[in-house]
Structure 1
Amino acid sequence: MSYGVAAALQSGVYSALSADSALAALVGTNIFDAAPTGTVPALYVSLGPEDVTDRSDKDGSGANHDFTVSVVTDAAGFQTAKEVAAAVSDVLTGAALTLTRGTCVGIWFMNAKARRVKDGASRRIDLRFRAYVTDN
C-alpha cells in the first residue's frame, strides 16, 4: 500500500471543484481545503476526512481513498444545500482527475448524510466518495 498519492488526490479534488462553473455559480469561491475560520460564509464546501485501504496488486501500489466533501449552509431549509451537493456530486462522480503523482483510476459516489447542526440553525450534507488510485 502507498499513501503517497493522498496529497495529489486531495489537490486534484480541490482543483476540480474550484474550476467548475456550475458549482462556482452556487458558492462562488467558498470552497475550502479545511473548514473556514473567522467569519464563516453562509454557504460553503469543505474537503473533509478520508479513510484509506490497500488495493495493491502484482502490478503495483494502489489504494481506495474514501473521502468526504461537506456542504454547509445557514439557510433555513435543505434545498440550497442539496443543490450544491448535487453540483459537487456531478463534478466528482466519474471525474478524470489529473494528479501530480500517481493515477486516479476512478471516483464513485458512495453515500450522503444530510442533517441539522448547531441546534438546527445550520444544515450540513456530507457526501462520501471513493477514489481508486495507483502509484505506478
Structure 2
Amino acid sequence: MSYAISAALQSAVFAALSADIGVSGAVGDAIYDAVPAGALPSLYISLGPETVRAADDKTGSGAVHLFVVSIITDVPGFSAAKAAAGAVCDVLHDGDLALSRGRLVSLRFEKARAGKIDKGLGRMIDLTFRARVEDQ
C-alpha cells in the first residue's frame, strides 16, 4: 500500500471539477483545496478529508481512497447546493480521470450527508466518493 497516489488523485479530481461546465455553472471557479481567507462566494466547493486503506493484490500496490467533496452555501435552502452536488456527482461517479501517477481503477459515489450550518442560515452537503487506485 502506498499513499503516494493521493496527490495525483486530488489533482485529477480538482481538474475534472474545474473543467466541467455543469459544475462551473453552479459555482463558477469557486472550487477550493484550501478555503481562502476573506469574503467567500455564497456557494462554493471544498475538497475535504480522505481516508485511505491498503488494497494491494498479487499484481501490485493499490489503495482505496474515501474522500469528501463539500458543497457549502450561506443561502438558507438546499436547492442551489443540491444542484451543485448533482453536478459534482455527474463528473465524479464512474469518472475516468487521468492521474499523473498510477491508475484510477474505479471511482464511485459512496454517500452524502446534508445539513444546516451557521445556526440554520447556511447549508452544507458532504459527498463521499470511493476511488480504487493502482500504482504502476
Instruction: Please indicate the TM-score interval, normalised by the length of the shorter structure.
Output: over 0.9
Structure 2 unmatched ranges of 5 or more:
none
Q: CA RMSD in A?
A: 0.7
Rounded to whole Å, the distance in 1 between the matches of 2:37 and 2:57 is: 41
Q: Which residue of 2 aligns with 1:10?
A: 10
Partner of 1:33: 33
Whole-Å Cα distance in 1 between the matches of residues 35 and 118 of structure 2?
A: 15
Match for residue 122 of structure 1?
Answer: 122
Letter in 2 for 1:70: S
1:36 is displaced (CA, Å) by 3.1
Amino acid at match of 1:55: A
Spell out, residue by residue over 1:53-100, the C-alpha distance to the aligned partner (whole angstroms, 9 max, x if none): 000011100000000000001111001100000000000000110010
SS of equivalent to 1:36:
coil
Distance 1:45 1:82 in 2: 12
**1:84 alignment partner in structure 2:** 84
Post-superposition Cα deviations, 1:3-29, rounded to whole Å, max 9, x if no partner, equal 110000000000000000111111110
Provide the rounded CA distance (Å) in 2 between the counterparts of 1:126 and 1:37: 21
Say which SS state the counterpart of residue 17 (structure 1) adopts: helix
Which residues of structure 1 form unaligned runs of 5+? none
Specify the SS of the correspondent of 2:16: helix
DSSP-derived class of the 2:34 partner: coil
Deviates more, 1:34-43 or 1:111-120: 34-43
Length, aligned pairs only: 136
- Residues of 2 paired with 1:51 and 1:36: CA distance? 23
- For 1:27-48, what per-residue CA distance to the aligned partner results, in whole angstroms no more than 9, with x for missing partners? 1100111233211110000100
Between the aligned residues of both structures, percent identity stands at 51
Q: TM-score, structure 2 length as denominator?
A: 0.98
Give TM-score scaled by structure 1 length: 0.98
The equivalent residue for 1:71 is 71
Residue 47 of structure 1 aligns with an amino acid whose one-letter code is L
Say if 2:60 is the partner of 1:60.
yes
Task: Say which SS state the counterpart of residue 39 (structure 2) adopts.
Answer: coil
